[in-house]
Amino acid sequence: MWICVLKCPPVLRMQSVGLTRHSSHLSAAEYVPACSPTDPNEVQKLQNFLLRSQRLFVMTGAGISTESGIPDYRSEGVGLYARTEQRPIQHAEFVRSQAARKRYWARNFVGWPQFSSHQPNAAHLALANWENTGKLHWLVTQNVDALHAKAGQRHVTELHGCTHRVICLGCHTVIKRSELQEKFIALNPFWNEQAYGVAPDGDVFLTDEQVSHFRVPSCDTCGGILKPQVTFFGDTVSRELVYSLYERLSEADAMLIVGSSLEVSVCLPEHSC
């Protein structure tokens, strides 16, 4: 199997395979990491790689969504880690701390209208087109922004879940994130705090004082804790999901990695983390 890695995909001007950069994405420049000028030889290598593949397996990371206006974590100068001291919430903290959940949901409530309105960019659309033409066998994404689904991708696995869904940790009932937004509005009719910065995954920055009076609903079915149906930092992906992706990968003849630094902690199914 051949493997090709693209850390900075949107700047590749590849008319023949569908990757172009449009002027409408330039407003997201503050989130898009610097990238070296396109090397024609590297473009040719990528085109040759794609032409050889008949059943392509694609893995995407945060770098594919920056030109849609969603910042990533690690990019030099523009990633969350470079711009701020903020760090994403940990799974254990969310589960054990009511204050942490209130802070998370207040910030997410403010950021949701903007985050949910982001649209796919040229790279998402190109990958969806490859699926339609039979080039792309399966796509797995580390992203939780639903942009592949919005682009029309059907053969896709959201490895870390999706912020557009919310799950109850008690009875496992799943609801739409948009439905939860209406519950927040009903519980907090006079709460109107303004954020001072945007973070990845639908988050914004608020102070502890701003979130102190924010109210968070419980599950309508069992009264349990509501959580985005995503894998938070410190949590793990299910073995069943990982095994299913191994099967999809075994059916492919090449793998393309787009917009990921691959700087993640990996735990194989036969090992414990």
Determine the Cα–Cα distance for residues 10 and 64; give it in Å rounded to an integer. 7
CA distances from 4 to 10, 46, 57, 259 (A): 15, 8, 11, 11
Spatial strand order in the sheet of 174-176: 174-176, 161-168, 226-230
Kind and range of the H or E run holding 92:
helix 91-96
Pick the catalytic residue from 25, 160, 213, 271: 160
Determine the Cα–Cα distance for residues 186 and 72; give it in Å rounded to an integer. 32
Closest CA to 70 of 38, 39, 36, 111: 111
The DSSP annotation for 96-123 comes to H-HHHHHHHHHHHHHHHHHHHH----HH
160 is catalytic: yes
Around Cβ 201, how many Cβ atoms within 10 Å? 22
DSSP letter for 269, please. Answer: T
Annotated binding residue 162: no
Annotated binding residue 219: yes
Q: For 2, how many CA atoms within 13 A lie in the half-sphere containing its CB? A: 14
The DSSP annotation for 189-247 comes to TT--PPPS-B-STT-B---HHHHTT---PPPTTT---EEEEE--BT----HHHHHHHHH
Which residues are known binding-site members for Zn(2+)?
168, 171, 219, 222
Catalytic residue annotation = 160
